[in-house]
Amino acid sequence: MKIGILALQGAVREHRNALHKLGVETVDVLNPEDLEGIDGLVLPGGESTTMGKLLVRYKLLEPIAELGRKGLPIFGTCTGLILLSKNINGSDQYRIGLMDTFVERNAYGRQLASFEADIPIPALGDEPFHTVFIRAPYIDKVEGTAKALLTYEGKILLAEQDNLLVSAFHPELTDDTRIHAYFLNKIKK
Amino acid sequence: MTDIKKETGTFKVKTGLAEMLKGGVIMDVVNPEQAKIAEEAGAVAVMALERVPSDIRAQGGVARMSDPEMIIGIQNAVSIPVMAKARIGHIVEARLLEALDVDFIDESEVLTPADDVYHILKSEYKVPFVCGARNLGEALRRIGEGAAMIRTKGEAGTGDVVEAVRHIRQVNEDIQRVVSASPMELMTIAKDLGAPYELILKVKELGRLPVVNFAAGGIATPADAALMMVLGCDGVFVGSGIFKSDNPAKRAKAIVEAVAHYKDAKLIAEVSKGLGDAMRGQSVAQMDDKDKLAGRGW
């Protein structure tokens, strides 16, 4: 199994480490040809405006959207969650736009509002997940086949839709690989 | 879920923001218009300051924290993180910037130091700090005080990359020394470098700095920016290099692309075409030591 990690900018190294821990081969995606032969794709955290622009400039946006529509499993964290959403409140920034989600950017405020907390996530079992939120977005609401996996304080923080998985927090900044493993299960299916 | 405790201002969330900036370019801007150009070019953050380093050099005088109104104007103009500079040791400027809700504070040698003995105890703040360093010892002293991100000092406002190269090479050399040392040698290395022993152990374990390390100080071209990435930096600050050049918007975009694709010489050659003149700059080798900013702080 080979997972591509979008490597234009952001927390690439951390996702690579998490996937290697699960025994999976990874490849950095910088150009469209890097998408060939991958079984899944990770969109890491970073700056969503920067990443959106680079996706367009390097002609990656449309190929990734096409692969996603054909069923390639894609996991987006933070920026990745924003890029995968069809709707970004109050913004016309570039996006891949595959999920029936409504996203609020920098929803908690600036860096001083960034936080960490242990939150139970039923889909992952009894042990709470240590979540790290950095200038994080959240999902207001989901439609269609999109489904919330974690709702906390009325905000959707982990969601999936068929082959797609998104989190508002950064599992790659912790040693807990349960969400990465949950994503890999979408490939095995 | 009533007993969930949210913790803000932890070292984890501070370093977490730095991790998200990796592979990106942070640009110096002096007004909202420049901030918008930077964001449009693909900057991951902007550094709000009153004068870019080359103007501080040219005009002289005391360089201080920026006008809060200007910082707020920039915060309102862009959605990317906004950083701002405080003078070395100026604990009140730092508190003001924290109160302004900036995303990162640069305790910077580019401004005139307020304290010639002590740096800010950065662990006492909720806002993250980035600090300059010329070698591993200096980097680890700043991290020991709570810095969540390091940058090379380079020589700001010169457009001459030689000092930034010297500093990252020195950091790399020092890290290699720690990595190849036997455990019994580490305390002596800590003493030689003037670095906290626990952080030397951390470097030994990780094989790199325990926080993100950006390049700064003299980067003027896409090739300069890519050079710093090749040498192992996690990203790049560009100060005077953009808005003191002929075509800031085009140069800013080219530098962003050169950092994202720093191993792709063909692409960097392509984006370097027709950028107009880079900032004129000033060779560090021709400068008197008293005119160098990197010697500020310890």
Q: What's the pLDDT at B2? A: 58
Mean pLDDT, residues B238-249? 93
User: CA B105, CA B97: separation in Å to the nearest integer?
Assistant: 7
Residues B54 and B244: beta-carbon distance below 8 Å: yes
And the tokens for B7? 């913790």
Distance from CA of B79 to the nearest CA of A (A): 8
Per-residue pLDDT of chain A (189 residues; tens, 9 = 90+): 999 999 999 999 999 999 999 999 999 999 999 999 999 999 999 999 999 999 999 999 999 999 999 999 999 999 999 999 999 999 888 999 999 999 999 899 999 999 999 999 999 999 999 999 999 999 999 999 999 999 999 999 999 999 999 999 999 999 999 999 999 999 976
Q: What is the CATH number of the domain that holds A144?
A: 3.40.50.880
Maximum CA extent, chain B: 64
CB contact under 8 A, A10 and B24: yes
Q: What's the number of domains chain A is made of?
A: 1
Instruction: Spell out which residues of chain A touch residue B74, defining contact as CB-CB under 8 Å.
Output: none
B5-31: pLDDT as tens digits: 999 999 999 999 999 999 999 999 999
- What is the dihedral angle through the alpha carbons of A164, A179, A136, A82, rounded to the nearest 10 degrees? -10
Identify the three-state secondary structure at position B260: helix
Identify the three-state secondary structure at position B149: strand
The residue of A6, A34, A47 whose CB has the most chain B CBs within 10 angstroms, and thus the best one to mutate to test that interface, is A47
Mean pLDDT, residues B177-191? 98
Residues B87 and B50: beta-carbon distance below 8 Å: no
Sign for the CA dihedral angle at B171, B173, B174, B179 comes to: positive
Q: How large is the ipTM?
A: 0.95
User: CA B288, CA B285: separation in Å to the nearest integer?
Assistant: 8
Is B179 near chain A, with CB under 8 Å? no
CB contact under 8 A, A115 and B13: yes
Q: What is the pTM of this model?
A: 0.96
The residue of A114, A131, A175 whose CB has the most chain B CBs within 10 angstroms, and thus the best one to mutate to test that interface, is A114
Instruction: Tell the residue number behind the tokens 């009533």, with chain if given.
Output: B2
And the tokens for B297? 């702080």
And the tokens for B60? 């002289």
Mean pLDDT, residues B268-285? 92
Candidates B21, B39, B126; nearest CB to A49 = B39
Sign for the CA dihedral angle at B134, B137, B140, B142 comes to: negative
B100-146: pLDDT as tens digits: 999 999 999 999 999 999 999 999 999 999 999 999 999 999 999 99
Q: Is the pLDDT of residue B1 over 90?
A: no
Q: Which domain holds residue A116?
A: 2-188
Which residue of chain B is at minimal alpha-carbon distance from A135? B17
